Amino acid sequence: MHVSFNLAADIDAAMKTAAAASGIDAVAFLPEVRTADPRHGDFQANGVLAYAKREKQNPRALAEKITTALPDEIKARFDTAIAGPGFINFTLKPAALLEWLNTYGTAEKLAAGAASAFAGQTWVVDYSSPNTAKQMHVGHLRSAVIGEAICRLLEYSGAKVIRDNHLGDWGTQFGKLIYGFKRWADKEALTRDPIVELERLYKLGNEATPDGSSALEEARQELVKLQRGDYDSLELWKLFSEVSRKAFEEIYERLAIRFDHYLGESFYNDKLQPVLDELQKLGLAEESQGALVVFHPEHPRFAKQPFIVRKTDGAANYATTDLATMLYRAEHFHADGIVIVTDFRQSDHFEQLALTTQKWFEKTGRRMPKFNHVTFGTVLGEDGKPLKTRSSDGKAIKLKELLDEAEERALAVVTAKNAERPEGERFTDEECRAVARYVGIGSVQYADLSQNRSSDYVFSWDKMLALEGNTAPYLLYAIARICSIFRKAGVEPGDTAFEAGASALETPTELALARKLVKFADALRLATDTLRPHFLALYLYELAGEYSSFNNADKVLTDDPAVRARRLMLCARTYATLDTGLRLLGVRTLKRM
């Protein structure tokens, strides 16, 4: 028989069938199936309550009716119980539990099981997207890390993902930068650390051009020249883009991020006017106080605060580019979904963008992709204020320096741990550094991804590098420990031959671990559907906890071959799940630590 990857989805479908068979309006009824508190079962359906309340029916009676009408195929796999005012709890029968574990026994089979949810869909994910001629600082970390995890989650669920780095590579800042560049560029600094030099030149250019000054007028003229396509100005601009991209790619490399496209703002320069013309012709955009704007009368705020698509000086802006970007992604990439990852301060912009695009596409018979603005909070220091350098200049921390520090601090942890190992098993210094790179970067990524992205989070080296708690080192060590059991047993975790002759799961800790393994599918679905990787992180942490209880209570490498085989089976499943899960979060894993 076919065993579904996502058991919660099976229950959901069965509940709807049962509801229809019991005369309930199956369209209005949402079963709301989710992972249950393990004390009550494996899954819980909560939807009966809301439906009964709406329809003024007795929820318990309704729950009983639906439970009785459940298809036999579900009853054969689950024990059901009605709890409280009308929750329905589903507990996998031991045979069904084992069946799932055997069907989805390796990383490859898990992947195959997951890959149907978004099959056939194309998603464009716009993340990181920093502005050029500047170094990335800690604020840029979240978009990159969260965006990459989202790409991997969508890909794992079967979507074709297009990673697009929408660089901020066009705009008024280039007038001042060129002004500064022409006067104070230091050739030697430009070859040594070009992006630092560009930052310095922009700063000088900006300081030298106060409002109302003739210098500002000169900087404006530089911008006009660039926009008109003056050869020398464009050459300079190309240089800025090249060195920026090189510096960004060094960071992406360390974070294991690879973009398919770098279609920055400048890419859309020649695609802006047609968009404005179309919006105006459709009557969506109108002139208001010299600007071209789109009002959304039905919206509580945007009825009065319009979306400005062309400024009073006639120039296009961020909104114009983003409208052209929406069109390009819909038409050129045939996107079914678009994700843009930025901090929450851009929420209004993207809400207006989505509203405007929706109306525009509807009027022109285009299909509107699902649009998701994925927001995140601020990275805070331990003082609760936005994270800054410790030095007195109070600048935001450069991302490069942050990653260096992560590797350095991880090296201390790894070296200390290494010294505890028996002489013959120790890493060389070189190996320690390689492990520290993974642990250090992984800790920074995981610290971010283990938080609900909507919240601010406190950046704490001690917490993220701790070997206990919901941290990367804790999970990475759990994986390494499982691998060491397999090394001792002389088998590979991916090789299922050793499982022949395994006896049935028996001890409470074996069963608890097995039940947790089955929930991977639901955690994955939740994280992917909500585009919130922390749901997966939390699941992995809890799974590692169940594994550690199991490992403390039940000796894996016992002399009884049947017991040993079933326990090794659980180790192999845990390994596949933790390893897959961390990789989905973008964290690189190790077999030895």
Contact residues toward ligand ARG (CB under 6 A) are: 126, 129-131, 166, 168, 322, 325, 340, 342
Min CB(266)–ligand ARG separation in Å: 12
Question: Is 98 buried (19+), middle (13-18) or exposed (0-12) by CB count in 10 A?
Answer: middle
Six token digits for residue 509: 């800790």
Asked if 282 and 364 count as a contact pair (C-beta separation under 8 A), the reply is yes
Buried b / exposed e along 60-70 (16+ C-beta atoms within 10 A): bebbbbbbebb
Six token digits for residue 174: 């280039």
Min CB(166)–ligand ARG separation in Å: 4
Buried b / exposed e along 447-481 (16+ C-beta atoms within 10 A): bbbbbebeeebebebeebbbeeebbbbbbbbbbeb
Buried b / exposed e along 127-157 (16+ C-beta atoms within 10 A): bbbbbbbbbbbbbbbbbbbbbbbbbbbbbbb
Q: Which is nearer to ligand ARG, 7 or 150 (CB)?
A: 150
Q: Which is nearer to ligand ARG, 129 or 233 (CB)?
A: 129
Buried b / exposed e along 269-302 (16+ C-beta atoms within 10 A): eeebeebbebbbeeebbeeeeebbbbbbeeeeeb
Q: Which is nearer to ligand ARG, 340 or 465 (CB)?
A: 340
State residue 517 phi and psi, 5-degree precision: -60, -40
Q: Which is nearer to ligand ARG, 328 or 427 (CB)?
A: 328
Min CB(212)–ligand ARG separation in Å: 28
Containing H/E element for 349? helix 347-363
Give the strand order in the sheet containing 78-83: 33-35, 43-45, 87-92, 78-83
Amino acid at 414: V
State residue 336 phi and psi, 5-degree precision: -85, -30
Min CB(402)–ligand ARG separation in Å: 18
Min CB(352)–ligand ARG separation in Å: 12
Q: Which is nearer to ligand ARG, 154 or 543 (CB)?
A: 154
Provide CB contacts within 8 A for 412, sequence distance 6+. Answer: none
Q: Which residue, judged by CB position, is nearest to ligand ARG in the bound state? A: 168
Six token digits for residue 83: 């709890």
Asked if 406 and 440 count as a contact pair (C-beta separation under 8 A), the reply is yes
Q: Which is nearer to ligand ARG, 59 or 147 (CB)?
A: 147
Min CB(129)–ligand ARG separation in Å: 4
Looking from the CA of 589 toward its CB, the CA atoms found within 13 Å total 22
Min CB(32)–ligand ARG separation in Å: 34
Cα–Cα distance for residue pair 190/181, rounded to 1 Å: 10
Min CB(135)–ligand ARG separation in Å: 13
Looking from the CA of 170 toward its CB, the CA atoms found within 13 Å total 22
Min CB(357)–ligand ARG separation in Å: 12
Min CB(131)–ligand ARG separation in Å: 5
State residue 239 phi and psi, 5-degree precision: -60, -45
Min CB(445)–ligand ARG separation in Å: 20
Six token digits for residue 70: 């459940």
The closest alpha carbon to 124, from 324, 260, 282, belongs to 260
Q: Which is nearer to ligand ARG, 31 or 264 (CB)?
A: 264
Q: Which is nearer to ligand ARG, 29 or 328 (CB)?
A: 328
The closest alpha carbon to 257, from 432, 375, 139, 125, belongs to 125
Q: Which is nearer to ligand ARG, 132 or 471 (CB)?
A: 132
Q: Which is nearer to ligand ARG, 166 or 176 (CB)?
A: 166
Q: Which is nearer to ligand ARG, 129 or 443 (CB)?
A: 129
Min CB(196)–ligand ARG separation in Å: 19
Q: Which is nearer to ligand ARG, 8 or 323 (CB)?
A: 323
